[in-house]
Structure 1
């Protein structure tokens, strides 16, 4: 397998940090090289993006709706089903319900239960090999985002049997080739209220050789159907529920504060090249605001009572809402910075998770930099940051735009502290000597970082990581 060496990726990123990002950051937010043409003259040569595209899986919601999946398989006329899950979920009610439903409807199936929590390139490849060898006409994913993302990757590469692994991985780490085939039907059944992966076309993994996370993003990866059943998330440990909920929280805030879709850059020459993550837009905004309000209300209630049925139902709905929003708008710095935090972790084991490998759960790694990030980005779109602060309960009647970042940062910090989030990235074993590596792991995350409302270079990222060493 060929891949881009880490040193080369870092070199390319550093060379481009000072370059003009026009027209993606118009309105005085760009940083220009001395020989760069002005925003106006540059934009006049390239047709500016003028459209956004909404896409989502079909969603079925309801308590006990998982029991219908066998009938769905029959309706697909499925004869060769693979059920993806992990070794924990394979012992629990959601998976058993799926198997009972398949057997009741006489659907042939095989189980792949080796999904890795926070999947890696290697675990993706193992799932891909299994799928290619066995063949499949319907995939069912039962689990959290790790399981659903693994199933997406297996589905994609099964449809391209000769493709190298990097073919579809996001550039500049991979080739970022557009997906031009219709994939095998995929039914996603989430067992956590977090990633919203049942609605999106993204599959995230830890690229071990580069010690960073990256992913694959294409509308073609979207599940055919997301079965959202509140009963399926009740058995998760409290720490898993909190970590997953934090992912929902920042899906909402990041997609709402991302650069607007019509400032993202030039329009594609072909619609198939329009990215899944397109910037904030009027439709995604609606889903993001609703998910934000629901999460702020429900997550503290779950912290107080992990079995609060109404709060759990609200959280799994919020995860789906946020997934529809960010699955089209995208996320930005918190997610971009989270990937090296997870990828470079060698010693931290988060409570409530398997001890088979060190893990900073995705939602936790996203949340840990949020106070610093939104204090920083508040200068770009202060009105939106003030709206976010208001959603947290801030009295914004006298808040000045210049203070928008500080106010939202303060309220996020208190919210995270009340949920018991670890006190900064130093809690994971990172020190100031690790900042350069954390920056190097963030720079290649173009898919998300270019959606940040401020152009953010290596020095800016270093400052954000430094501020995130301790939060309280």
Structure 2
């Protein structure tokens, strides 16, 4: 076993959670020793009063601030570069991100490039980008999510769309993890049902994928601790966070979509929990498949989104039933446990988890298949090619998929009754 990993790491963002928690932002920013911050914000939050509330608390704490709100709902290289260029021109010592996962991801990349320079593709994960490692720490980032879900406030990754390649991908490094998360259920109260459904299904998939990732002891030992990746495979501590998030998804997502503010709060907490879990263990096949699904089609518009594209949670969940049927024989007992956590009922067999996910998707009003997202069988070769570019994720699957396996997964996900 000398060539196998024997060590895993757990890192977690500091979290302040609860109704009214957003009012702690001035205290938390001052506690971090920050004096001049850039607030990266979803432009829609000015109308809700959330942005003004944050700015007032910063002013009361004596923290100077400016606002950048040119956020694209699905980040692209261009939109992230614009945010980074803006940040580079400022004399700030920290960043506050207020919005959904897209806003927080813009803030992460702006922080990275403002601190260390370079181009976005220098840092994007290979084989798409150069995989450059940030040479040192970034400015402290305080993340304040406003949806019941992405978990970006607790993770090391920022996801972006590269239209020229028709694929989504990511930048991931431990230095990109926010220093502080402020999770306030009241901030998600006005989000449309479809946004809650997409984000919440992303939470569930984060948690299930990390719970069912390859055990860390089956990964190769890195040459040095610095070479240990953020996503290391399942381990006993990550499993605790992931399992709790799966249970919350099964218990609260349906009510959150229906508008329950308390349920939305629990889903926001589940997102943070899942972020801690997959931030250590990682995600795999559904997320690898999601990147070309979201990158190749921008034709369907969902309620609550400003333009036509496939929201991340929907792109992730649509292949998850087929993916977990494929991985079942690698970890059958853990698949049974994940299904039980989702449903609260005894669960056995390869269809238990896929059936539980499909039931949750139907109840949340999510698209059930690729055809609904504008795909046909003719697109499968390109979808496979896009998924295969996500090797940093596919290596975490408990059962490695071949190109033929991925084609089968897309085919099974093409059309559902």
- TM-score by shorter chain over 0.5: yes
In structure 1, C-alpha distance between the alignment counterparts of 2:43 and 2:265, rounded to whole Å: 25
Query: Which of 166, 174, 196 is the aligned partner of 1:241?
Result: 196
Output the CA distance in 2 between the equivalents of 1:423 and 1:254: 18
**Residue matched to 1:153:** 109
Report deviation, 1:154: 0.8
Which one of 172, 175, 180 corresponds to residue 217 of structure 1?
172
2:336 equivalent to 1:349? no
Q: Which segment is superposed worse, 114-123 or 61-70?
A: 61-70
Distance of 2:309 and 2:101 partners within structure 1:
15
| Length, aligned pairs only | 417
Match of 2:18 in 1: 62
Conservation of the 8 A alpha-carbon contact between 1:93 and 1:232: no
Which residue number corresponds to residue 419 of structure 1? 364
For 1:459 and 1:49, locate their aligned partners in 2 and report how far apart those are by CA, in whole Å.
Answer: 29
C-alpha distance in 2 between matches for 1:324 and 1:392: 19
- The 8 Å contact of residues 190 and 227 in structure 1, kept in 2 or not, is answered as yes
Deviation by residue 1:60-91 (Cα, 9 ceiling, x = unmatched): 11211111212333334433210001221232
Task: Give the superposition deviation at 1:107.
Answer: 2.1
What's the offset of the Cα at 1:103? 2.1
Residue matched to 2:267: 315
Counterpart in the other structure of 2:252? 298
Corresponding position of 1:429: 374
Q: Report matched runs for 1:127-146 at 5 Å.
A: 127-146=83-102
Unaligned 5+ runs, structure 1: 1-42
- After superposition, give the CA deviation of every residue in 1:311-363 in whole Å (9 maximum; x if it has no partner): 122111111111110111111111110111110113111222112xx221111
Match of 2:323 in 1: 373
**Match of 2:242?**
288
Question: Which one of 253, 276, 279 corresponds to residue 230 of structure 2?
Answer: 276
Q: For the residues of structure 2 that align with 1:286 and 1:79, how far apart are their CA atoms?
A: 37
Matched residue SS, 1:352 = coil
1:85-142: per-residue Cα shift (whole Å, max 9, x none)? 1221232232221011112233221111011111011111111111111232010000
Task: Give distance in 2, aligned partners of 1:128 and 1:64.
Answer: 30
Residue 92 of structure 1: aligned partner: 48
Aligned equivalents of 1:320, 1:456: Cα separation in 2:
29
Q: Is the 8 A contact 1:336 1:445 kept in 2?
A: yes
2:129 is the alignment partner of 1:174: yes
Alpha-carbon distance in 1 for matches of 2:345, 2:97: 43
Residue in 2 that maps onto 1:193: 148
| Deviations 1:394-437, CA, capped at 9 Å, x for gaps | 7547x4xxxx3222212221221122212311111111111111
Equivalents in 1 of 2:355, 2:152: separation in Å? 29
Counterpart in 1 of 2:333? 383
Structure 2 equivalent of residue 334 of structure 1: 286
Q: 1:79 aligns with which of 7, 10, 35?
A: 35
* Range with bigger deviation, 387-396 or 433-442: 387-396
CA distance in 1, matches of 2:266, 2:301: 28
CA contact (8 A) 2:143 2:181 kept: yes
Structure number with greater Rg is 1
* Structure 1 counterpart of 2:390: 445
- The match for 1:359 is 309
Instruction: Give, in angstroms, the shift of residue 369 of structure 1.
Output: 0.8
C-alpha separation in 2, matches of 1:276 and 1:443: 20
Q: Tell me which moved more, 414-423 or 290-299.
A: 414-423
Structure-2 residue corresponding to 1:25: none
CA distance in 1 between counterparts of 2:415 and 2:344 reads 23
| Cα deviation 1:258-316 (Å, max 9, x = unaligned) | 1011112x22222122111111110000001111111100011223x30x232122111
Query: Alpha-carbon deviations, 1:366-410, whole Å to 9, x = none?
Result: 11111111111111100111111222337547x4xxxx3222212
Question: Partners of 1:176 and 1:464 in 2: how far apart?
Answer: 28
**Post-superposition offset of 1:455:** 1.0
CA contact (8 A) 1:94 1:191 kept: no
Following the alignment from structure 2 to structure 1, what is the Cα–Cα distance between the partners of residues 205 and 377? 25
Q: RMSD of aligned C-alpha atoms? A: 1.5
- On the 8 A contact 2:238/2:280 being kept in 1, the answer is yes
Match of 1:40 in 2: none
Task: Give the secondary-structure state (helix, strand or coil) at the position aligned to 1:213.
Answer: strand
Give distance in 2, aligned partners of 1:429 and 1:459: 22
**Distance of 1:165 and 1:410 partners within structure 2:** 39
Secondary structure of the corresponding residue to residue 366 of structure 1: helix
